[in-house]
Structures are given as structure tokens and as C-alpha cells.
Structure 1
Amino acid sequence: MFNTILVPVDPGETSFSTPALETAARFARDYDGKVRLVAVLAHTQGFVASYLPEDFEKTAVAETRNLLEDLAKGLGLPEGSVSVAVRLGSVYHEVIEEAEAAKADLIVMGSHKPALSTYLIGSNAAHIVRHAPCSVMVLRPNKG
């Protein structure tokens, strides 16, 4: 049913992704599927980049890849059934592009509790749900 499950991970808040990671791992075991973790980093704008070390973006990508690989090891899935990707750009656009590139059957992701600003300008989760090429499961944080 789910051959490839994509899980977007915020590298600055990895604990927020824990329910999505656990759910994706469970589906991968149940359906003999694969999990792909993706993190999206913002492009460093030219003005800001001029104040940062020359290899700042390259280092950030490498550190984020290592973080995703550590999360992948913690899923308890067989070797070769978890892959990782780090992309640069806007979150919802890059997640959708990664879902298409990976031929994902399902995106499993967390979402913060909606706030007034979310209703006015939208959220990454809302954009992904509307434009994803596959099913999307959005997990809300536990109450309390």
C-alpha cells in the first residue's frame, strides 16, 4: 500500500517529528515500504551570506544530513530501507518536489496547532496537503 513514505523533518526541532517518524516506521514495517527523511534549509541570501564563512551553506547541509542519518538509525528499520535528503529552498515547495522525485505514496508530517496567522497566510502543512502528489497524513501534537 505504501512503498515510499516521506517524512519532512525540521532540523531545528527534531523532537517535533518524533510522532511522524514513529508512524512512518510502523507503516514501513507493516507494508514492507521504505522511509525517506527530508529536511529543508533556507537559502542564505546574498547580503547575509557575505557575513558568513564561505562554506557556511555546505557545512549546514552536511550537518543536517548527519542529523537525518542519526534519526534514520533510530527507526529500527532494516538497512537500506531508510534514505535521507537535504534540500535548499522554501519548505512546502521542496517537500512537494521531494515527494515527486522519490515517488512517495504518503507524506507523514507533524503540524503545529493552528493560530490566527496560519489562517491568514497559511502554513507549510496546509500548502503540502493542498499540492502534494500523494496522500498526506498530518499529525497534531498531543493535548495537554
Structure 2
Amino acid sequence: MFTKILVPIDPAEPAFSDEAVAKAAKFAKDYGAKIHLVAVCPEVQTFVASQLPEGFQEKEVAETRATLDGVIGKLALPEGTVDSQVRIGSVYHEVLEEAESSGCDMILMTSHKPGLSTYFIGSNAAHIVRHAPCSVMVLR
């Protein structure tokens, strides 16, 4: 089965990933897999950052890290089964980079139902499915 499962968490909507986290926890219990949570904060461009309060990006990262700690705290898994990472950048690119750099062999994520805009622009889930270095399970 899978040994290390990456679960992307949207810091703006962490509850949206509850189903993926629960499925990953089941894999962890049943097969001894490790879970690696990742959240991606958007990069603030220099011209925008100059208009934001000093330390805005650092505060956002700290709040996101606290959100991931809250998700981990809800899981009834042994110590060392779950770890997390906060990254800054575009969602699909950072998720793919994290999957590769952390040695994950599956990405387990939820996806919004497709709308007309995703057929033209493409969603993060679609990019991840197309370019992932490992297996991807998408839940709806």
C-alpha cells in the first residue's frame, strides 16, 4: 500500500479537507502509513507587501502553522505518524514540490465540483493530478 500520504490543507478553509484527513488517518491505522500535511500561503508580491502591515507574511505563516497543529491535534494517531509543512507560493506548484521533496507516494485531496471556469482556467486539483510524481486520490 502507501507509506507516506500528503494531504493538502487550504488554510482559508481547513474543514474542507476533513474527509481527506479522515481517509488518510484510516490508511495510517490500517496500513501503518505516515501522514504529511501541507498548507500553502500565497506569496505576497513586493508592491502589495509594501501596503500591508509589517510582518504580515510571517503572521500568516504562523496562523497557518497553528491551523495545521489543530488538525493534527484532532487525530487519534500515535506520535510521529503525522507531520506538517507550511509553504509559500502557488498551490499546485508547492504541493507537487512538497510531495517530491518529502518522499510521499500518494497525494490525497478533496476537490470542489468543477464549474465552467475550471474548464478554461484549470483547478489546482487538475494540475496536481496531471503533474504529480506519485499516485493521487481526489475525493468529492
Shorter-normalised TM-score: what interval? over 0.9
Q: CA deviation at 1:105?
A: 1.0
Q: Which runs of 5+ in 2 are unaligned?
A: none
Match in the other structure for 2:41:
41
Letter of the structure 1 residue corresponding to residue 88 of structure 2? L
Q: Distance in 1 between matches of 2:13 and 2:67?
A: 11
What secondary structure does 1:107 align onto? Answer: strand
Q: CA deviation at 1:137?
A: 0.4
Instruction: For residues 45-84 of structure 1, give each alpha carbon's deviation from its aligned partner in whole angstroms, at most 9, with x where no partner exists.
Output: 1121111122111111111011101101112111111001
Instruction: Give the superposed CA RMSD.
Output: 0.7
Match in the other structure for 1:81:
81
Instruction: For residues 78-136 of structure 1, give each alpha carbon's deviation from its aligned partner in whole angstroms, at most 9, with x where no partner exists.
Output: 11110010000000000000000111111110000000111111110000000011100
Q: Distance in 2 between matches of 1:68 and 1:96?
A: 18
Match in the other structure for 1:118:
118
Q: CA deviation at 1:22?
A: 0.3
Q: Distance in 2 between matches of 1:137 and 1:73?
A: 24
Q: CA deviation at 1:20?
A: 0.4
Q: CA deviation at 1:31?
A: 1.1
Q: Which TM-score applies when normalising by structure 2?
A: 0.97
Match in the other structure for 2:54:
54
Letter of the structure 1 residue corresponding to residue 40 of structure 2? V
Q: Distance in 2 between matches of 1:12 and 1:100?
A: 24
Q: Which runs of 4+ in 1 moved over 4 A?
A: none
Match in the other structure for 2:6:
6
Q: Distance in 2 between matches of 1:53 and 1:116?
A: 36
Question: How many correspondences in the alignment?
Answer: 140
Q: Distance in 2 between matches of 1:73 and 1:106?
A: 22
Letter of the structure 2 residue corresponding to residue 84 of structure 1? S
Letter of the structure 2 residue corresponding to residue 88 of structure 1? I
Match in the other structure for 1:99:
99
Percent identity of the aligned residues? 63
Q: Distance in 1 between matches of 2:120 and 2:21?
A: 29
Q: Which runs of 5+ in 1 are unaligned?
A: none
Q: Distance in 1 between matches of 2:83 and 2:14?
A: 16
Q: Which TM-score applies when normalising by structure 1?
A: 0.95
